[in-house]
Structure 1
Amino acid sequence: MHILFIADNFPPEGNAPATRTYEHAREWVELGHKVTVITCAPNFPEGKVFDGFKNSLYSRSTMEGIVVVRVKTFISSNEGFVLRILDFMSFMFSSFWAGVFQKEVDVVVATSPQFFTAVAGWAISAFKRKKFVFELRDIWPASITAVGAMKDSFAIKLLEKLEMFLYRRADSIVSVTNSFKKELVERGIKGEKISVVLNGVDLTKYQPVVEKNKELSEQYQLEEKFVIGYIGTHGMAHALEHVIDAAELLKANDNIRFIFAGGGAAKEKLVTLVEEKQLKNVVFIPRQPKENMPAIWSLCDVSLISLRDAALFKTVIPSKIFESMGMGLPMISAIPQGEASEVIESANAGIVCKPENGHELAQKISELRSSDALLTQYQTNSLIAAPKYDRKVQACLMLNQLKNTIDK
């Protein structure tokens, strides 16, 4: 089977969509299938092309057996509605033209969160008369209004019409959460064409460590510190300013450190906020290559998950939950009660507290720091839960869905 996958994020980008696409494609290739991924020059989240890459018209390479086709796009940082839409639309057109020239394709898959990628996938599938699978990573454009990037407007209404068009035209939809499937069914999409394949973790790379990475510990002065780690995109959806509030409340305890590893639209504001508050217990670590992430995770005693207090975020499951499990880390999650909190609480792998509440977050961190027994319990349970979300298992589930779609 030749799978043509359209995704505007792919390694060396290290965000969740890039990682999921790469790890699934790698497993499919190992199982004997051909996978071609059409993507763009790596630039997320700063909107700057990574060293060693060019925003060229068309390039073709191979990564662990995956054929990677990169196309030219208009590039912007991960902020600002108009520029991001131009970015998305340019990828839609360039990926479509690249897609129509790929030979002997059996199925076309396109992944969100933004739907212009899915438009390209649908158009390629229509041109080639092949089945179209829509991988649904986010309820977009609702997430735009949820983070306050744009108010409800005529433009949003048009995007919602496009959203429903794609749901209806897809031969199959693969949702990354059960909540997304439920919402689509409530909006009139047939449930029998929607399957759920949760995110996961590569357990060959994310494993418990005996000791923290010595070089990084020394570099960031984390030796003998109790480290609360937020690892991932610093975006508008993550309400990280409230984590800074918690850090300020705990600044008198010199044993506690907060690390923020990654980049994103909100990072500059967070750095400024920490400087204004003159906090010495907050450390920022730049965005790292994907292969360095287990070493960054090794610095953490507790993994921090944070999301805004919005109804939409009751339906999402941050991928860092599964990476935390792979590392055997306890979690403190300042998130709305929903599917993500259910994953953590059902595994008894950490504490869930109110989102956007620095006072409660600081209190829960103090409680966890003072209880070695609770830390050990959450560590053990986190590790026990990890195999359920092994990326190999999830990749096989999605592959079966692709096969079923072709056979319909």
Structure 2
Amino acid sequence: MKLLLYGLNYAPELTGTGKYTAEMAEALAARGHEVHVVCAPPYYPAWRVAAGWSAWRYGREVRGGVTVRRAPLWVPSHPRGATRVAHLASFALTSILPMLAQWRWHPDVVIAIAPTLLCAPAALALAHATRARAWLHVQDFEVDAAFGLGLLVQPHAARVAHAFERAVLHRFDVVSSISPKMVERLLMLGVEPSRVLCLPNWVDVTTIRPLDRASVYRQTLGISDDEKVVLYAGNMGAKQGLEHLVSAAALLERRTDIRFVFCGDGLLREEVARQCAGLANCVLIGLQPAAQLNELLNVADVHVLPQRADAADLVMPSKLAGMMASGRAIVAMAREGTQLADTLAGRAVVVEPDDGPALARAIEAVADDAQMRARLGESARRYAMQAFSPDAVMERLEQRLYGALIDRTGPETETSARTFRPPR
């Protein structure tokens, strides 16, 4: 089957949507499909184009068996409101050219990745022109998130954005998202149940697994054997609520046996560094190589997942699967009744968002109880193995891809679709 993935973010980005889009593309290529990708040069989460890449030139490469075409984009140093919209629009416009180049290739399915919905019209147009099926995979509800986090505030803009969102969603043959609550949101927006699919983010539980020894990062970071490590690893942006974790670290500075490690990059990294500068119990490091991810996750005695209340259920944290697969205890911020709280029930200690003192108390309690840490870690690991297996998720994706292709023209296409199926 010929599959075109169209989205802003892609490898070698190490976090967020780009990581999962690349893994999806390469997994589908490994299953025997011909996969093309149209994306931007890597820039996230640092919000600057990575060294060795150009923000202003088109490019083409083959990565992991996938043909990748890069389109230019503008990356603002301070993406807020209008500048963020201009950033997304720049890619939506420049990517039209490589999308037009796919017309002769004639993909069977065009898969658009949201964010950004601004790319949806080009995806729909190409699918219509080539008689391909159109699929939208929603990693973030970017419209809700933009207004919930105060990035966009004008009521008129809200009405226009929500109208555009609804119009786009109704035109795709398949619309998928990464959690049951996000699928419920799609249904509330009027997407027909028959066109909706839950496709959670995954983690390779054979690569991310508990270690039977101390992580090499303990020595690298100068952490003694009697210290408990509280780890945050991921994007340092507005919706993460990192100010609450810094607040918790300040409240626990009296505990010389608890060390906070902040690992990542993003818009708020400099602010986090400034706030942590006066705290003796904090260490700040940049994004680490993908090959070292398991060592990094295993340095934690306690993983911590802060969150702002206004971001609840607008996104499902992509870092969660790796945290759970590592078999380490988790302390998270989540509102009762949200997908995150439901997922972590009995597998983590959960406190309300936006409550730094409650987060500090929970971290201290878990750090002081080795049996609790072991019990929570084992429970989280079991859940990850059941729910986040890449083979299970990819099998579900592939089956729906074949189903979408068969639905396109009926029995004739069904016969053709069967010939596409790679040998197992």
Q: Do both share a fold (TM > 0.5)?
A: yes
SS in 2 for 1:373: helix
Give the C-alpha shift of residue 56 in structure 1: 4.7
Amino acid at match of 1:34: E
Aligned to 1:40: 40
Amino acid at match of 1:222: I
Aligned to 1:350: 348
- C-alpha distance in 1 between matches for 2:174 and 2:121: 14
Give the C-alpha shift of residue 231 in structure 1: 0.9
Amino acid at match of 1:378: L
Q: Is the 8 A contact 1:45 1:78 kept in 2?
A: no
SS in 1 for 2:176: strand
Aligned to 2:403: 404
Aligned partner (choices 363, 366, 374) of residue 365 of structure 1 = 363
Instruction: Normalising by structure 1, report the TM-score.
Output: 0.94
Q: Which digits, 9 at most, give the CA deviation of each residue in 1:19-45, with x for residues without a partner?
A: 211112222111110111111111112
Aligned to 1:193: 195
Q: Which digits, 9 at most, give the CA deviation of each residue in 1:42-66, with x for residues without a partner?
A: 1112222212222353221111111
Q: Is the 8 A contact 2:134 2:173 kept in 1?
A: yes
The alpha-carbon distance between structure 1 residues 386 and 184, as it changes in their structure 2 partners (threshold 3 A), is closer
Q: Is the 8 A contact 2:29 2:65 kept in 1?
A: yes
1:219 and 2:223 equivalent? Answer: no
Q: Which digits, 9 at most, give the CA deviation of each residue in 1:343-401, with x for residues without a partner?
A: 111xx221111111111111111111121111111121122112121122212212222
Q: Is the 8 A contact 1:24 1:392 kept in 2?
A: no
Aligned to 1:333: 332
- C-alpha distance in 2 between matches for 1:297 and 1:35: 31
- C-alpha distance in 2 between matches for 1:117 and 1:235: 23
- C-alpha distance in 1 between matches for 2:180 and 2:281: 38
- C-alpha distance in 1 between matches for 2:145 and 2:56: 31
1:270 and 2:268 equivalent? Answer: no
Aligned partner (choices 107, 110, 120) of residue 108 of structure 1 = 110
Amino acid at match of 1:241: E
Unaligned runs of 5+ in 2: 408-424
- C-alpha distance in 1 between matches for 2:124 and 2:295: 39
Q: Equivalences for 1:102-181 in 2 at 5 Å?
A: 102=102, 103-181=105-183
SS in 1 for 2:169: helix
- C-alpha distance in 2 between matches for 1:69 and 1:292: 28
Give the C-alpha shift of residue 78 in structure 1: 6.6
Aligned to 2:313: 314
- C-alpha distance in 2 between matches for 1:149 and 1:297: 31
The alpha-carbon distance between structure 1 residues 151 and 321, as it changes in their structure 2 partners (threshold 3 A), is same
Unaligned runs of 5+ in 1: none
| Structure 1 residue ranges, 4+ long, deviating more than 3 angstroms after superposition | none
Aligned to 1:249: 251
Aligned to 2:204: 202
1:374 and 2:372 equivalent? Answer: yes
Query: How many residue pairs get matched?
Result: 402
- C-alpha distance in 2 between matches for 1:282 and 1:354: 23
Instruction: Normalising by structure 2, report the TM-score.
Output: 0.90
Give the C-alpha shift of residue 286 in structure 1: 0.9
Give the C-alpha shift of residue 77 in structure 1: 4.2
- C-alpha distance in 2 between matches for 1:366 and 1:254: 12
- C-alpha distance in 2 between matches for 1:242 and 1:40: 32
- C-alpha distance in 1 between matches for 2:161 and 2:341: 29
Amino acid at match of 2:219: E
Q: Is the 8 A contact 1:134 1:174 kept in 2?
A: yes
Give the C-alpha shift of residue 305 in structure 1: 0.9
SS in 2 for 1:141: helix
Q: Is the 8 A contact 1:134 1:173 kept in 2?
A: yes
Amino acid at match of 2:406: D
Give the C-alpha shift of residue 255 in structure 1: 0.9
Give the C-alpha shift of residue 108 in structure 1: 0.3
Aligned to 2:262: 260
The alpha-carbon distance between structure 1 residues 286 and 247, as it changes in their structure 2 partners (threshold 3 A), is same
Identity %: 23
Q: Is the 8 A contact 2:249 2:281 kept in 1?
A: yes
